[in-house]
Amino acid sequence: MATASPVAPDHVKAVRGFNRFYTQRIGVLAPYLGSELTLTDVRVLYELAHRKQPTASELARDLSLDAGYLSRILRRFEGKGWLARAPSPADARQSLLALTDAGHEAFAPLQQKSRDEAAALLAPLRPADRGRVIEAMHAVQRLLDSGSAPARAPAPALRDLRPGDMGWVVMQHGEVYAREDGFNWEFEGLVAEIAAGFIKNFKPAREKGWIAEIGGERVGAVFVVQKSPTVAQLRLLLLTAGARGQGLGGRLVDECIAFARNRGYRKLVLWTQAHLASARAIYQSRGFVMTASEPHEGYGRKDLVGETWELKL
């Protein structure tokens, strides 16, 4: 079984900060939904309203609640006339639980208020931003669920370009290089020009792009473009931080080399920065040789060293 990697302290801090923000925003620190009930009370009511005669053991298991704590909640509900119990025909030690009519009447306005508050949370946002929030929520739920499961992580996969991919490539270059290398938006502009040129002048028989995915999520990209009839150029190699360390960068470069050879190019060239050690190691391990190196200024930095690398095919 694979051992989980250590979690960075700044990641822990970010999760805790988001938890404080969100719990305050949805009002779970005070009596929930303006009622006398706690968030846990309302969650138990929700389950009772939407399940068909669950047992207390099932609720405790599915909600990860202490059995004694849940028992006290259920007794309070009984005292209010909200809960009825019936003997379980399958196990005499268990009771089947169900909300009474009074219980449903108590829960109905809470459910509606919860819906109204969720709508109010999204209402100030533009429609496109609402969609982004929902997509982010789905991503958090999906990733945390998959992280708690014992199943193996999905293997990285490479695919051809689709509509929308070039915009992602430009955005990721801008964000990754700003965060990791201190580049400004001039670099994003350069990538946008390269991407636009690839689309405008695309030669299907001589050029190709690949997108790397893990679990259906884009995590990397690379392109081969024609520089001359005999020389191809490798461009825009990128991996997001979470996709590194799996050999995926090498796979992308290998695809470029194989494509260039198959199309009859005699040489594959590329331009990179001297401080990009991981990328340089990939190129060197594939037989690329550095043929030129020159200091330069750009993208908000004055300490860059550009390098040209070549591979004879």
Q: What share of the chain is helix, strand, coil (3-state, %, to 5)?
A: 50, 20, 30
The confidence score (pLDDT) of residue 91 equals 74
pLDDT greater than 80 at residue 117: yes
Contact 230, 267 (CB under 8 A): yes
How does the average pLDDT of the chain come out, rounded?
Answer: 88
What is the average per-residue pLDDT within 60-81?
90
Q: Provide the 8-state DSSP code for 149.
A: S
pLDDT greater than 70 at residue 42: yes
Per cent of the chain over pLDDT 70 is 93
Say how far apart CA 22 and CA 28 lie, in whole Å: 9
The confidence score (pLDDT) of residue 2 equals 46
pLDDT greater than 90 at residue 256: yes
Say how far apart CA 38 and CA 181 lie, in whole Å: 47
The confidence score (pLDDT) of residue 28 equals 65
- Greater confidence (257 vs 20) lies with 257
pLDDT greater than 60 at residue 4: no
The confidence score (pLDDT) of residue 150 equals 54
What is the average per-residue pLDDT within 80-103?
87
pLDDT greater than 50 at residue 119: yes
The confidence score (pLDDT) of residue 152 equals 61
The confidence score (pLDDT) of residue 22 equals 78
Angstrom distances, CA of residue 227 to CA of 121, 190, 203, 281: 52, 17, 11, 23
User: Bridge-partner residues for 225, per DSSP?
Assistant: 233
What burial letters (b/e) apply to 135-147, b meaning 16+ CB within 10 Å?
A: eeeeeeeeeeeee
Task: Using pLDDT thresholds of 50, 70 and 90, give the confidence band for residue 290.
Answer: very high
- Could you give all domains of the chain from N- to C-terminal order, each with its CATH number? 9-122 (1.10.10.10), 157-312 (3.40.630.30)
- Greater confidence (122 vs 265) lies with 265
Weakest-pLDDT range from 9-23, 98-112, 246-260: 9-23
Task: Using pLDDT thresholds of 50, 70 and 90, give the confidence band for residue 280.
Answer: very high
What is the average per-residue pLDDT within 5-28?
78
What is the average per-residue pLDDT within 64-76?
90
The confidence score (pLDDT) of residue 233 equals 98
The confidence score (pLDDT) of residue 32 equals 62
pLDDT greater than 60 at residue 3: no
- Greater confidence (31 vs 265) lies with 265
Task: Using pLDDT thresholds of 50, 70 and 90, give the confidence band for residue 255.
Answer: very high
Contact 42, 32 (CB under 8 A): yes
The model's pLDDT over 135-163, given as tens digits with 9 standing for 90+, comes to 888 888 877 776 655 556 678 899 999 99
What is the average per-residue pLDDT within 87-105?
86
User: Bridge-partner residues for 84, per DSSP?
Assistant: 98
The confidence score (pLDDT) of residue 1 equals 40
pTM score of the predicted model: 0.55
